[in-house]
Structure 1
Amino acid sequence: MNTEESLINRVIRGDLFAFKQLIGQHEKLVTHMIARIIDNDEDVKDISQEVFIKVFKNLAKFNFNAKLSTWIAQIAYRTAINHANKFLRQNFVIGDEIEHELINYETPEHILNAKTESEFLQYHIEKLPLAYRTVITLYHLNEFTYREIEEITGMPEGTVKNYLFRARQLLKQRLEKYYK
């Protein structure tokens, strides 16, 4: 039995220290995943707690067909999307071509005041439509495979690849304005 299976079995048997360890191992992933969809820090914290409650309640159903991190990311993604649909009323449909990006007329001064290139890039990733932002984050920042992203989001693999391509193109267009 590998360490992941052992940890899961300990949590299922009620070992709260093991559950705390599981949270510690996946907290950054969950927070990062939710923060890509939800802008409010308090909501991100609340949704993160909700995700780990769902993980705890459903851990016995985990079947090891995927990595635990993929399964947890799927729960985080779906919980955040449900929250966004209920409370933020954003105009998007996951898995379809319909996406409405809110136009934000930030001043160039605000954009150029980013402290590092990484923050500057993160700023522009945040401005991508939700599905693009999600796919690019899962693929490049969380290093999930196309197959794992399909499992997490429910989008077909072709759509994942398409959204990833479009996200890169949008980022390239936006960044070309600042980097020659």
Structure 2
Amino acid sequence: MNIETELLKQISRGDKIAFEELYALFSNKVYATALHYLQNIPDAEEVTQDVFLSIFNNAHTFKGNSSVSTWVYRIAVNTSLNFLKSRKKSSFLYLVDYKKEIPDFEHPGIIEENKENAKLMYLAINTLPDAQKTAFILGFIEEKPRQEIADIMEISLKAVESLLQRAKANLKIKLKSLNPKRRN
């Protein structure tokens, strides 16, 4: 049994120190994932808290069918997607096609000369269906191995490859429409 699995066992018994250790191992990764989805620092912080609350409350449900890392990422992805869905439902902005507006989000890890391109890329990513968006973020932004993406998304490796190809094709079309001067 690895250290992460042991930490989850201890967390399921209410061990707060084990929870702090697991938090230290995964908080930056969970936050980065949430930030890629939400493109809003306070929302990403809120989702990160929600993810770890869920981990604390559901540690006993971990069956060991995947790695702890995969399980944590699955919770982070699902919590981020659910947050987006609830934000869309609770906002009256659904009357406006907000996807056409360039978000004013500036990812803190992107250097200055790439920020405009990053804004356009995130705008385009936001138009992808959830499965394509998840595969793209995990595969090309977070650079996860394809098999880990399949495990996180609970789909086949072939399905991941298909989602990535469709996401790239859709992004290429969307980016071309957002920036006609852009070269392939």
TM-score normalized with structure 1 length: 0.71
Residue type matched to 1:59 in 2?
A
| Deviating more after overlay: 170-179 vs 2-11 | 170-179
| 1:155 Cα deviation after fit | 5.6
Q: Hey, what does 2:122 align to over in structure 1?
A: 126
What number of residue pairs does the alignment pair up? 163
Q: Aligned partners of 1:30 and 1:168: how far apart in 2? A: 24
* 1:88 has 2:81 as partner: no
8 Å contact from structure 1 (residues 136, 167) kept in 2 = yes
TM-score normalized with structure 2 length: 0.70
8 Å contact from structure 1 (residues 51, 79) kept in 2 = yes
Q: Hey, what does 1:163 align to over in structure 2?
A: 163
Q: Hey, what does 1:4 align to over in structure 2?
A: 4
| 1:179 Cα deviation after fit | 5.6
Paired residues for 1:1-180 under 5 Å: 1-89=1-89, 102-104=99-101, 115-117=112-114, 119=115, 122-127=118-123, 128=125, 129-130=127-128, 131=130, 132-153=132-153, 157-172=157-172, 174=175, 177-178=181-182
Residue type matched to 1:30 in 2?
V
Residue type matched to 1:66 in 2?
S
Residue type matched to 1:20 in 2?
E
Residue type matched to 1:60 in 2?
H
1:131-163 deviations in whole A, cap 9, x for unaligned? Answer: 344322201233334443344345665443233
Q: Which has the higher helix share?
A: 2
| 1:71 Cα deviation after fit | 0.7
Q: Aligned partners of 2:72 and 2:116: how far apart in 1? A: 29
Q: Aligned partners of 2:10 and 2:67: how far apart in 1? A: 17
Q: Aligned partners of 2:119 and 2:39: how far apart in 1? A: 12
8 Å contact from structure 2 (residues 71, 152) kept in 1 = yes
Q: Aligned partners of 1:89 and 1:162: how far apart in 2? A: 29
Q: Aligned partners of 1:168 and 1:124: how far apart in 2? A: 14
Q: Aligned partners of 2:138 and 2:148: how far apart in 1? A: 9
8 Å contact from structure 1 (residues 34, 48) kept in 2 = yes
Q: Aligned partners of 1:12 and 1:65: how far apart in 2? A: 17
Point out where structure 1 has 5 or more consecutive residues left out of the alignment: 91-99, 107-113
Residue type matched to 1:75 in 2?
I
Percent identity between the two aligned chains: 25
- Give the alignment's Cα RMSD to 1 decimal: 3.2
Residue type matched to 2:100 in 1?
I
Point out where structure 2 has 5 or more consecutive residues left out of the alignment: 91-96, 104-110
Q: Aligned partners of 1:81 and 1:105: how far apart in 2? A: 20
